[in-house]
Homo-oligomer: A and B are copies of this chain.
C-alpha cells in the first residue's frame, strides 16, 4: 500500500474567491465530487475584485494562495473571474500545487457548445475589460467570433437578493440587447460566478441560446485533472468542509446559503489575510 499516494488523495481542494460568488463553484464541486474535502476562502473584507487593478489583484491572489497552501491543499481553484484573468500565471508560477482558474474551463465549454462559432460573453467590467475570455477563446480557435458585454449591476442586484425582481429583469434585458440583435450567437458564456443565480431570467431573455457557466465547466476540469493524476479521494470518511471569510457579516452568511443551497453558518471561520 502506497501511504504517500493515499495521503495525497485525501488532501482537500482549496478554492478562493473575492467573496461568496465562488460558492457556485463549490456547489458544483460538492455535486460532482462528493468525496473530496474542500477548503474555501472568500476575501469578503476586500471584495469586490472586479473594480481593482491588475497589480492589486496579483498581490491579493498570492496572499490567498499562501493561505490555502498552509492548509495543505492538493489543488487550488481560483473561483473568481477577476483574479483568474489578472493573476493566473503569477499564481501558477508561485504555487507548488496546480492552480486552475475559471477562464479556460469556461472557454473550452463554450467552444464545445457553439455550432455557429459566434459566442456571447457577459461579466463584470473588470473581467470584460481584461479581455481574458476573448484572448483564451481566440487562442483556442482563431475562427471564433465573440461579442462581450459588461454588466456591472448584476452582482449588486443578485447580492440584494432581487433574483425575480422586475428591475433586475429590466436591467438584464437592457444589457442583453446586443445579443438579441446578433441572431447567429448560439452560446452565452456566464463570465461571473454570481450569474448562475440569474440563469432563469437569462434563459427567458435569450430562449434560443445555450447558457454555459464557468462554475460547472471548472468542476469538470477539476475532476478530469484529479482523475488523470490518480488524485481522486476514494472514500467518504474524514471528509472536511471548511469556509473562511476575511470579514463576516450576517448578510454574507445569508447570501452564502443562497449561493450554496445550504446553510454554512456553523462552518464559517474568520481569517484575516492582509496583515
Contact = CB atoms under 8 A, between A and B. Distances in A.
Interface of A: 44-47, 51-53, 56, 125, 152-153, 155-157, 159-160, 166-167, 170-171, 174, 246-249, 251-252, 274-275
Contacts of A248: 53
A51 B52 CA distance: 17
Contact of A251 (B47, B56, B125): B125
Chain A interface main SS type: loop
B156 A167 contact: no
A56 B275 CA distance: 12
Contacts of A156: 152-153, 155-156
A56 B274 CA distance: 11
A206 to B, nearest CB: 19
Contacts of A171: 167
Contacts of A275: 274-275
Contacts of A153: 153, 156-157, 160
Contact of A53 (B46, B157, B247): B247
Nearest to A250: B129
13 contacts: A44-B51, A46-B46, A51-B252, A52-B247, A53-B247, A56-B246, A56-B247, A153-B156, A155-B156, A166-B170, A167-B174, A274-B274, A275-B275
A171 B171 CA distance: 11
Contacts of A157: 153
Given A51-B249, A125-B251, A152-B159, 6 more contacts: A45-B46, A46-B46, A56-B246, A155-B156, A167-B170, A167-B174
Contacts of A166: 170
Contact of A152 (B52, B160, B174, B252): B160
Contacts of A274: 274-275
A159 B126 CA distance: 14
Nearest to A57: B247
Nearest to A56: B247
A53 to B, nearest CB: 5
A24 to B, nearest CB: 19
A47 B247 CA distance: 13
A246 to B, nearest CB: 8
A156 B156 CA distance: 7
